[in-house]
Chain A
Amino acid sequence: MAAVTCKDLCKTFSQGGERVIGLERVTLEVEEGEFLCLSGPSGSGKTTLLNTIGGLDTPDSGSITVAGQCIDRFSREQLANLRLHNIGFVFQAYNLIPVLSARENVEFVMQLQGRGLATRRALAMTILEEVGLAGLEDRRPAQLSGGQQQRVAVARAIASDPVLVLADEPTANLDSRNSSQLMELFAELNRRRSATFVIATHDKRVMDFCHRRISLQDGRIVNAESRAAGSA
């Protein structure tokens, strides 16, 4: 079954009275367990596509199905609910809630979902260990390095077993060593947990980790290429 199906997505923005194309007739299907990257130069529509799939933004036309639900007519609250239960997000920066510790950040989504204290605490500790942050769980984001912060964000995105993890330029603020560590983590989680990843990036090294790559330009899919799984 497809984790995500997009059909003929169009989105335009108006900026200073001018119409700017965000997405133009984007049709895309992401299978469950895929490790996909969206590439393309800055302004090509990667973020717009991720946000539309994630229910953070709505297209002008076209149709989106996520986890078997057509979200075209969802209300604000319904979209919030979809994001909460089905999608994990990793953003470029400022991913963490400053007043919560690393563990509390990971627990945050599970707590919103209404999971019990014992379950979510155990899950959070396991996943923090899995992303290599054992011992740092009580630190606040300000006490963590950029790379560590992104790992916490990944842990939070994956902790509640979402159908889909969307990451928007997750390595943009990291040095190359931290970048490749983070990508290795993504690849490992994809393998071990068979989670579906869609990662937007214009970083060549990141693309090398992905199994399928979709290139965007001016809001359009310009080419798509697949590679055998695990050939990175």
Chain B
Amino acid sequence: MSLLLLTKLAWRNLWRNYRRTLIMLAAIILGVWAMIMMNALMRGMVDGMLDSGLKYLPGHAQLHHPAYRDDPGVAHSLEALSAPLQEALADRDILGWSARVKVPAMISSERDSRGVVLLGVDPMQELSIGFAETDLVQGRFLESATDPSVVVGEAMLKRLETRLGRRIVLSSQTVGNEVGERGFPIVGVYRASLPSLEETLVYAGREVVQGMLGMGGAVSEVAILGPDYRRLEPWFGRVAAAVDEGMVLEGWRELDEYLALSLSIQGGAGIVLIVVIFLALSFGLVNTMAMAVFERVREMGLLLALGMPPHAMLYQVLLEALFLLLLGLLAGNLLGWLSLQPLLSGIDLSALAEAAELSGMGATLYPNLRGVDMLRATLIVIFLGLAASLIPAWRAARLDPVTSMNEY
């Protein structure tokens, strides 16, 4: 069967009713463009969520006392890390890790007091996994694990109606079930991508906090950061193998089920969206192809009468649909790519900041256009498009030459 001949017939027939073809083409382009935009925006949203959500505190995996997550107090701490575990944490695939005290506490200024999460950290470790000097808007970060000062968020500073250099008091439950309390000067103020974080997290030197709460050398958790949140292996397995007795290692999906769930929902929503947009398109496509066949019944009868095999007639109609789809996909992908270029530097969502914060992403949305998403949309459209065209193509192949040629 001459593919060249079928291609020629399909292509020329496509442009016979060019108005109808252009309308259908416009619909496909618009649909593909919408798929690409939505995909890029959604992926940007998810990435934003995960970056601000994971990098900040949890890292990609954490070690805990088995009961810590249900009752995050000093009673459920980890004793000093064993040598094999420390070795495993030095894995070349691990970007950084931080052993911290992390307990609920009360912070008080002269004006106000609020519940917070007190982090006793080694600043070197903390800087290796999440906190960045650039997050600071005033003062400095902690200098060492023995630094007897605190770094608070900008929003917290406002709530407490205090300022850099003033003292606050932190209090929390000690190992001996007493209230441990201590005054700290504020040496630094940070800004987080999410205001809620600024109001929650207070950083202090780890050894100072351990002393205040009578914990000795114990910590609440070890947070570990790998190169890519999508892929925890191979380092995760190696750390898991070295975990000490009385510790559990959990990936971020277990640690933040909400985040993991919204990630998979958004991934699924991407495909659902493509399919929904396409289903709308496919009604148009089936109709277009059915009309194309209907208008040419007599001519198709002639082709069959002259000896064109019925299966070749089927291919001809499918080829026609394929051309339409490919043209639409090409233009739609191009248009999507072009219209995303000016947005790649970030879309300012500060006007929507309140709503954006609810979903856990920062105030700037960075659309993320990935080849995989374009390819996936393209393949889905081609596959479903050809499937939708099968009905009219099948009808064309089943035409009876004589009755078709007698049609008016």
Contacts and interface: CB of A to CB of B under 8 A. Distances in A.
Given A91-B302, A94-B302, A111-B5, A99 B12 contact: yes
Contacts of A112: 1-2, 5, 306-308, 312
Given A112-B2, A112-B5, A114-B2, A97 B303 contact: yes
Interface residues on B, range: 20 to 34
Interface in B301-324: 302-312
A77 B310 contact: yes
Contact of B305 (A81, A89, A100): A89
A80 interface: yes
Given A77-B311, A114-B2, A94 B298 contact: yes
Contacts, number: 67
A80 B309 contact: yes
A39 B4 CA distance: 41
Contacts of A80: 304, 307-310
A81 B401 CA distance: 14
Interface string A85-128: 10101010011011110001000110110100000000000000
Contacts of B4: 111
Contacts of B16: 98-99
A36 B1 CA distance: 33
Interface in B268-312: 298-299, 302-312
A97 B16 CA distance: 12
Interface in A66-88: 76-77, 80-85, 87
* Most-contacted residue by chain A among B4, B16, B304, B309 (CB, 10 A): B309
B13 interface: yes
Given A57-B402, A94-B298, A84 B13 contact: no
Contact of B309 (A51, A81, A94, A99): A81
B2 A81 contact: no
B9 interface: yes
A83 B405 contact: no
B217 to A, nearest CB: 84
A56 interface: yes
A109 B306 contact: yes
A146 B303 CA distance: 19
A212 B226 CA distance: 93
Interface string B1-19: 1101100110011001000
Given A94-B298, A94-B405, A97-B299, A83 B13 contact: no
Interface residues of A, number: 28
Nearest to A75: B310
A13 B313 CA distance: 27
A83 B310 contact: no
A85 B299 CA distance: 20
Contacts of B405: 91, 94
B305 A56 contact: yes
Contacts of B307: 80-85, 87, 109, 112
A100 to B, nearest CB: 8
Contacts of B1: 112
A80 B402 CA distance: 13
A77 B309 contact: yes
Contact of B306 (A77, A89, A114): A89
A97 B302 contact: yes
A89 B301 CA distance: 13
A58 B188 CA distance: 94
Contacts of A77: 309-311
Interface in A26-70: 51, 54, 56-57
B301 to A, nearest CB: 9
Contacts of A81: 307, 309
A51 B5 contact: no
A54 B307 CA distance: 10
Contacts of A83: 305-307
Contacts of A156: 306
B310 A98 contact: no
Nearest to B303: A97
Nearest to B308: A112
> What 4 A-B pairs are tightest by C-beta distance, nearest first?
A84-B307, A99-B12, A83-B307, A111-B5
21 contacts: A51-B402, A56-B305, A57-B402, A80-B307, A80-B309, A82-B307, A87-B307, A89-B305, A89-B306, A94-B298, A97-B299, A97-B303, A98-B299, A99-B9, A100-B9, A100-B12, A104-B8, A108-B306, A111-B2, A112-B1, A156-B306
